[in-house]
Structures are given as C-alpha cells and as structure tokens.
Amino acid sequence: MTAKAFLQLARTADRRIDEAMERLKRMRARLETGRMSNLTGMPRGGAVDWTETADRVIELEKRVNARIREMVRQKQAAMDAIDQVEEARLREVLELYYLDGYTWEQVAERIGLRDVRWVYELHGRALKKVRVPAEFQR
C-alpha cells in the first residue's frame, strides 16, 4: 500500500466511524420501537419474535463495533506514521489534510501559502517521508 493510500484510510475514518455509529443508533431505535409496541399492546402487523430480532441486532452491533475498532486502529497508525515525519511543515500538511480533513486550499491558508501548488509540492515531499507500517503493506 502506498503512503497516500494508507493515509487516505485515516482521512475517511472519522466519516466512516460516524456513519457506523449512526447505523448502530438506527438499529437500536428500531428494536426499541418494536419492544415498545409489544409492551403497550398497541396493534402491530403479524407476530414478531423480539428475542430473535434482538439477537440479530446484537450480532450486527458486534460487526459494526469491530469495524469501528479497525478504523480507529487505522487512524492511530496513520497518526503514528505522521508523527515520524521530522520536518514540522511537512508533518503539518499531512495532519491538516489527512487527520483534520481540511481541503488543499484550507491547508494552504492555514500554513500561510498563497498558492495551493506549493501545498501539493510539500505534500509530495511529505509522502516520501511516511513509512507505512508492515501490517498495512500488501
């Protein structure tokens, strides 16, 4: 895996974690809604085995939580790799783009550059300094 592809995992991790958490929230809400109608005696369509439904939700939660743990691990590995870049300005470009989610234009503004092409240049230099951990190399 290239350094760029490796760091891209971190860039998308926050969004993917948020989506997974939202998925879990929706699954729990559906289960709770079903339980409430069962407890209140309100009419519902057909008989539902809530134990089976709860078991399915629990299994899905385990899978989503495993994915979340993997994304957190990827983000931590990327942070560690970026921390190993010695030149502060190169490290800052990587942090702002891959960890903080800024656009290239925002990165240029944050580090005081008028031309985004310089950010691309710094980014290229920085990528050469990133060492992808063996566990992420294919």
| Interacting residues of 55 by C-beta distance below 8 A, sequence separation 6+ | none
Tell me whether residue 138 is in a domain.
no
Tell me whether residue 55 is in a domain.
yes
> Is the entire prediction scored with pTM above 0.75?
no
Tell me whether residue 32 is in a domain.
yes
Q: What is the pLDDT along the chain (138 residues), one digit of tens a residue?
A: 999 999 999 988 888 888 888 888 887 787 777 654 554 455 555 555 667 777 877 887 888 888 889 888 999 999 999 999 999 999 999 999 999 999 999 999 999 999 999 999 999 999 999 999 999 886
DSSP for 57-101 reads HHHHHHHHHHHHHHHHHHHHHHHHHHHT--SHHHHHHHIIIIIT-
Question: Could you give the C-alpha distances from 48 to 36, 37, 45, 55, 86, in angstroms and in order?
Answer: 13, 11, 9, 13, 60
Tell me whether residue 14 is in a domain.
yes
Residue 100 lies in domain: 3-133
Tell me whether residue 69 is in a domain.
yes
Please state the domain count of the chain: 1
